[in-house]
Amino acid sequence: MLPVITLIGRPNVGKSTLFNRLTRTRDALVADFPGLTRDRQYGVGQGGPAPYVIVDTGGIGTAPEGIEALMERQVLRAIEDADHLLFLVDARDGCTPEDLEIAQRLRRLGKPITLVVNKSDSTNSTLVTAEFHRLGLGDPHPVSSTQGHGVRELLELVFAQL
């Protein structure tokens, strides 16, 4: 069976953009407004040392009810099925209270997690990346899903832990 790597993070951090890059498709809808990915989306991941299944999810957040809470239940199921989680945060927004809350929940799951600082478009992003250490999920790893920076290194890092 192929390893299953699952993208997690609040809406709009770029999960679907990274999914499309990893699958070399445009299967996942990308938009400027949050909450577009309601469901799980599966693809065969490319560009790593071996094939893998990559899973895009709707955003995880703090909503107690409604469509967002339903979406969260889907996300929780996706997390259960994952071999490795990629927790995406947004370099432009910096470390938000929602990120801290999600990180706390993810830490309790005891699954292998890699912290991905997406939208690190410029090469000089060390400062922004460093602030995410406070999430308590190890070293943050900068990538740019639109430009592709850091994506190959990220896959090597993940595969070393599988």
145 is in an annotated binding site: no
Residue 31's Cα: distance from chain center in Å?
16
Identify which of 150, 157, 158, 147 has the alpha carbon closest to the alpha carbon of residue 129: 150
125 is in an annotated binding site: no
**Which residues would be at the binding site for ligand GDP (CB under 6 A)?**
9, 11-17, 30-32, 34, 36-37, 59, 118-119, 121, 144-146
- List the single partner that 6 binds among ligand GDP, Mg ion, none, CB under 5 to 8 Å by kind: none
Q: Are 123 and 148 in contact (CB under 8 A)?
A: no
To the nearest whole angstrom, how small is the minimum distance from the Cβ of residue 28 to ligand GDP?
7
Identify which of 143, 145, 146, 95 has the alpha carbon closest to the alpha carbon of residue 123: 143
Asked if 17 is part of the footprint of Mg ion (rule: CB under 5 A), the reply reads no
To the nearest whole angstrom, how small is the minimum distance from the Cβ of residue 48 to ligand GDP?
18
Closest to ligand GDP by CB, 29 vs 50, is 29
124 is in an annotated binding site: no
Helix 15-23 and helix 151-161, axial crossing angle in degrees, nearest 10: 90
Closest to ligand GDP by CB, 30 vs 162, is 30
Closest to Mg ion by CB, 15 vs 119, is 15
Closest to ligand GDP by CB, 119 vs 141, is 119
Identify which of 85, 100, 87, 86 has the alpha carbon closest to the alpha carbon of residue 131: 100
The DSSP line for 45-66 is E-SSSS-EEEEE--------SH
- The residue sitting closest to ligand GDP, measured at its beta carbon, is 14
The residue ranges that bind Mg ion (CB under 5 A) are 15-16, 37
